[in-house]
Chain A
Amino acid sequence: AQTVTQSQPEMSVQEAETVTLSCTYDTSESNYYLFWYKQPPSRQMILVIRQEAYKQQNATENRFSVNFQKAAKSFSLKISDSQLGDTAMYFCAWGWSGGGADGLTFGKGTHLIIQP
């Protein structure tokens, strides 16, 4: 079974700073996807960024980028120029590329607070 670990229950930074959220995972699969989801107080889970394990290049989406270290099974999220709207719970998740029957495996989340 896969496990996803987020070791930072809560983080707080000042607006415009850069922040990195950590995620490690354990799997014996070779083909899989990794995701970062954002959950604001509205409860709506929003996909922030996705990484395919077979791609060596780190994914980027505007202010969001990842540092994917496959051998170390590490998948951290970097948010640059943080904004007040980035305040939310952030969940790291693992998914098997062979099919969705097992759903996504989520970490317990990191509560990110952006201070004005």
Chain B
Amino acid sequence: GAGVSQSPSNKVTEKGKDVELRCDPISGHTALYWYRQSLGQGLEFLIYFQGNSAPDKSGLPSDRFSAERTGGSVSTLTIQRTQQEDSAVYLCASSLDPGGPYNEQFFGPGTRLTVL
């Protein structure tokens, strides 16, 4: 079946604008993750969704970042009033069973965000 998809693939925006990044997880996967990959760095965990449960937002870098997941499927990551330090690749991943033996996370191709 289809893998994790993300849109847009690339996004260039001006400082101060709002952006929305979208993630479509693999069908049937209950867990969904957002990560940020800054240039030359590893992946930084941002937020986790399990089904329709409310997420723990403590990993989000600032209050300009928000995320939601509708119907336990599609997720959007919104960055308000973007800053140049928000420039990074934003990766989404999903997994079948976050705590069990099938907890492999399948990643999407990411959205490269550039803030001018």
- Using a CB–CB distance below 8 Å, which chain A residues touch chain B? 4, 6, 33, 37, 42-47, 50, 52, 91, 93, 95-109
Contact = CB atoms under 8 A, between A and B. Distances in A.
B110 A100 contact: no
Interface of B: 31, 33, 35, 40-46, 48, 50, 56, 59, 89, 91, 93, 95, 98-101, 103-110, 112
15 contacts: A43-B89, A43-B91, A45-B91, A46-B107, A47-B104, A97-B103, A98-B99, A100-B31, A100-B99, A101-B48, A101-B56, A101-B98, A103-B35, A105-B45, A108-B40
A95 B34 CA distance: 15
B48 A100 contact: yes
Contacts of B31: 100
Contacts of A45: 43, 91, 93, 107
Given A44-B109, A95-B103, A98-B99, A104 B43 contact: yes
Contact of B103 (A33, A44, A108): A33
A99 B33 CA distance: 12
B51 to A, nearest CB: 12
Given A44-B109, A45-B91, A100 B42 contact: no
Nearest to B100: A97
A93 B45 CA distance: 11
A15 B100 CA distance: 37
Given A104-B43, A107-B42, 6 more contacts: A37-B107, A52-B101, A97-B99, A100-B99, A100-B105, A109-B42
A91 B100 CA distance: 22
Contacts of A101: 48, 50, 56, 98
Contacts of A37: 107
